[in-house]
A and B are shown apart, each in its own frame.
Chain A
Amino acid sequence: MPDATYLVAAVLVSGAVTWALRALPFTALGPLRASRTVQYLQPRMPAGIMVILVAYCLRGLPLTHTAVLAPLAALAVTVGVHLWRRNAPLSILAGTAVHVALVSTVFTY
């Protein structure tokens, strides 16, 4: 296990960078809020950003291996349950449970 000083330093560095990214743009981008371009972007960004984050999570899929079936099945269950019940926590729990079950038993790697 890495030593405690390094572990704390890694958290502090990451925390500082993350907070700066969340706080500083308000001073820089605040005046842009009224611009028509920003008003075009603003309602369209959330859906795209979330789609990209999903793709990012799936970037390491083992495409040439049968183990790829576990995340794909879990993804199908997440989407299916969400379209069916529209209950976010339920969809997340269902998808994760399927993934844990498959990866821990059938597709161990």
Chain B
Amino acid sequence: MCIPPAVAGGPAPTGSAAPPSRTPSDTWAAFADSASVGLAFVPLGIAFGVLVAHAGVAWWWATLSSALIYGGSFEFLLIGMVTAAVPLASVAVSAFLVNVRHVFYALSFPLHRVKGPLGRAYSTFALCDEAYALTAGEQARSWSGRRIRRLQLFLHLYWVGGATAGALLGSLVPAGVTGLDFALTALFTVLALDAVRDRPGDLPTPLLALLSALTARLLFPGSLLIAAFALFTAGLLARHLTTRGRVRHA
């Protein structure tokens, strides 16, 4: 589901980040790896900060939220929740439902390469969708724990920096300018296209996901996300069992 290395090393300015003759350090390598997602995180963070400013919430809240929650899609939702002053219990339940998808990342994120309790604590804290996307794939097989942690730190900084800048500059953006929140839809669209293209022979999987989302939208509109994830996982498991059975009979 990531921005593939072909993109990161292509027309983006990442290739020139390190001199080709020397072996780049972990930090430089992580910076180069982070660049393409970073170029999406900064405008997205700005969009988040501008929405915070337009909602009438103090600018520092955008910094605090982006630094301590660090979950983009939920943070966008949280703006509306805090301006409506919904109870903290509802905030917690919503945070759970929007972010429960992260439990799946424990199945393949290479945490075993990250050393030390503090490093591991940070690495799990900063395990956003995009960090998972960049580190769980084939191209990250040889990365050290240090390089993974640095990559996560860069992504985190892009997000906090963008959000803070957006919140501080938000008052300069005219109130008539709206629709910046589409950056999130666009980011997930791009990640979905890349993930689908990574497995060209596997169209049933995205179709199953789409069907799960539409079913969840019709039957459980109030809890679309978790219902869709559950239906999708159940569908994959069912497919796994039937294909295994077929192989055995053959």
Contact = CB atoms under 8 A, between A and B. Distances in A.
Do the two chains belong together in a single complex? yes
Interface of A: 1-2, 4, 6-15, 17-19, 21-26, 28-30, 32-33, 37-38, 40-59, 70-71, 74-75, 78-79, 82-83, 85-89, 91-93, 95-96, 99-100, 102-104, 108
A15 B69 contact: yes
Contacts, number: 273
B44 interface: yes
B67 to A, nearest CB: 9
Contacts of B236: 40-41, 44-45, 48
Contacts of B180: 96, 99-100
22 contacts: A2-B83, A12-B68, A14-B92, A21-B100, A21-B103, A25-B103, A26-B111, A40-B236, A47-B209, A49-B1, A50-B188, A53-B188, A53-B191, A55-B228, A59-B224, A74-B185, A78-B190, A86-B6, A87-B7, A89-B36, A92-B190, A99-B182
Contacts of A78: 185-186, 189-190
A78 B5 CA distance: 20
Contact of A41 (B12, B136, B217, B240): B240
Secondary structure of the A side of the interface?
Answer: helix
Given A13-B91, A53-B192, A100-B177, A95 B186 contact: yes
Contacts of B182: 71, 74, 95-96, 99-100
Q: Which 10 A-B pairs have the closest CB atoms?
A: A103-B179, A46-B1, A89-B39, A48-B209, A55-B213, A25-B106, A50-B192, A99-B182, A23-B124, A47-B195
B43 interface: yes
Contacts of A17: 92, 95-96, 99
Contacts of B212: 48, 52
B127 A88 contact: no
Interface in B174-203: 176-180, 182-196, 198-199, 202
